[in-house]
Structure 1
Amino acid sequence: MVQSFGESFWDERYSGSEAVWSGQPNPQLVSEISGMPPGRALDVGCGEGADSMWLARQGWQVTAVDFSNVALRRARQHSSSQAFPGSIAWEHRNLLQWTPPASSFDLVTAQFIHLPSEDREPLFLRLATSVARGGSLLIVGHSAADIQAGARRPQGDGLYFSAIDIAASLPQDMWRICVAEARPRGGLDADGHSITIHDEVLRAVRLA
């Protein structure tokens, strides 16, 4: 475990500004999940709650979990004045240790969770076990190539992964891989200039 990526790290980061993220849902979540029949969703590393609120607007029953109580308090405030066809339960969890209930969710989404590999890989496997039969696992991350492109990205050994590697870690007889690619989209470099960045996108459906 790398201590700097624990609860105190994230509380400090969220306390440093009024809003860390844009308030908009992540684009690959919208691209992959739009039109999917709503059910039970687990949003892991929910932050300030934009993805969870988008899912609840689509009718999903969302369990939203994060390291940071500061982020969760902000998410609750943002959602308190809104009415959703679905619902959101905000939960504080240590993602380095927490095991979600097995086979319980129709969608498990983890967007841009960049932990050291020794923490991230076991977490992703625990998340996979929480997907119900017929449910979807959606994992999205920054591409390591974004650093060379000039994007502002976390620095550190082992923080990046490829969608293909995540797909290879799932048992072939239990999963159907729907998407495993580095998907381009527009972004900005550190000076505000337009560049092309890539999201590593893995979406898989559990068969058994």
Structure 2
Amino acid sequence: MSHQFDESYWNGRYGKHGNIWSGKPNPQLVAEASGLLPGRALDVGCGEGADAVWLAGRGWRVTGVDISSVALERAAGHAAGLKPPGSIAWEHHDLLSWTPPVASFELVSAQFMHVPREDREPLFARLAAAVAPGGTLLVVGHAPSDVDSGAHRPHGAELFFTAVEVAAALDASLWEVLLTGSRPRRATGHGGETVTIHDEIMRAVRLH
């Protein structure tokens, strides 16, 4: 893999700015996970921790994983002083080489994990294997068409994927795919204008 997205890259990005995300949970996580019964959750690429904090606030026992030690420090600060009904454990891993414990989570959430295809496919396979029977795999990403939307997409469409592509990689004997879709939402474009972007959403339940 290119070193473009290694720990040094992400620590540099987080270290050059204040918080680079909104501090709010990702909208598709909220839409898809609000009705789930809390259990063990894996927040993949947790960044500054907004998703993990939201899940813990709903009673989940969350493991938040990120390659960036700077992001994890910010995430821990974000969660400091909170006393949610759930819990959060922050773990520092390179997701391209780390294997999560198999069949261990009732929810595995990967929000906007954009890496080259040769890395993405084995990563998503490991994440799927981490879902416990009856648990949910939720994968959300930028639509390839967003490159032409006016949104800030500096790395090009080759890093993006469709929900259908993610679902197609799952073993149909092990999974029930509940959703493969593209949802529009409003965002800020290059010049500060409002543009429409699309989130690709794949939600599936592990049968056994």
TM range (shorter): over 0.9
- CA displacement at 1:30 relative to structure 2: 0.1
> Partner amino acid for 1:62?
V
- Which deviates more from structure 2 when the two are superposed, residues 147-156 or residues 77-86? 147-156
| Cross-structure match for 2:23 | 23
Counterpart-to-counterpart distance in 1, 2:4 and 2:159: 13
> Partner amino acid for 1:15?
G
- CA displacement at 1:154 relative to structure 2: 3.6
Identity of aligned residues (%): 57
- CA displacement at 1:121 relative to structure 2: 1.0
Q: Quick one: structure 1 residues 137 and 13, their matched pair in 2 at CA, closer, same or farther if it must change by over 3 Å?
A: same
| Cross-structure match for 1:130 | 130
| Cross-structure match for 2:108 | 108
TM-score, normalising length: structure 2: 0.98
> Partner amino acid for 1:66?
D
Spell out the pairing of 1:32-47 with structure 2 (5 A cutoff).
32-47=32-47
Could you tell me whether the CA contact under 8 Å between 1:43 and 1:63 is conserved in 2?
yes
- CA displacement at 1:157 relative to structure 2: 6.2
> Partner amino acid for 1:196?
T
Counterpart-to-counterpart distance in 2, 1:154 and 1:10: 15
Spell out the pairing of 1:104-183 with structure 2 (5 A cutoff).
104-156=104-156, 158-183=158-183
Q: Quick one: structure 1 residues 154 and 99, their matched pair in 2 at CA, closer, same or farther if it must change by over 3 Å?
A: farther
What's the C-alpha RMSD, in Å, of the aligned pairs? Answer: 0.9
- CA displacement at 1:18 relative to structure 2: 1.2
Contiguous gaps of at least 5 residues in structure 2: none
SS at match of 1:158: helix
| Cross-structure match for 1:51 | 51
- CA displacement at 1:14 relative to structure 2: 0.4
SS at match of 2:153: coil
Could you tell me whether the CA contact under 8 Å between 1:66 and 1:95 is conserved in 2?
yes
Counterpart-to-counterpart distance in 2, 1:184 and 1:67: 29
Could you tell me whether the CA contact under 8 Å between 2:117 and 2:159 is conserved in 1?
yes
Could you tell me whether the CA contact under 8 Å between 1:116 and 1:157 is conserved in 2?
no
Could you tell me whether the CA contact under 8 Å between 2:145 and 2:157 is conserved in 1?
no
Could you tell me whether the CA contact under 8 Å between 2:46 and 2:64 is conserved in 1?
yes
| Cross-structure match for 1:184 | 184
> Partner amino acid for 1:47?
G
Could you tell me whether the CA contact under 8 Å between 1:112 and 1:140 is conserved in 2?
yes
Q: Quick one: structure 1 residues 186 and 156, their matched pair in 2 at CA, closer, same or farther if it must change by over 3 Å?
A: closer
Contiguous gaps of at least 5 residues in structure 1: none
In the alignment of these two chains, the number of paired residues is: 208
Counterpart-to-counterpart distance in 2, 1:154 and 1:198: 16
- CA displacement at 1:35 relative to structure 2: 2.2
Could you tell me whether the CA contact under 8 Å between 2:147 and 2:157 is conserved in 1?
no
| Cross-structure match for 1:11 | 11
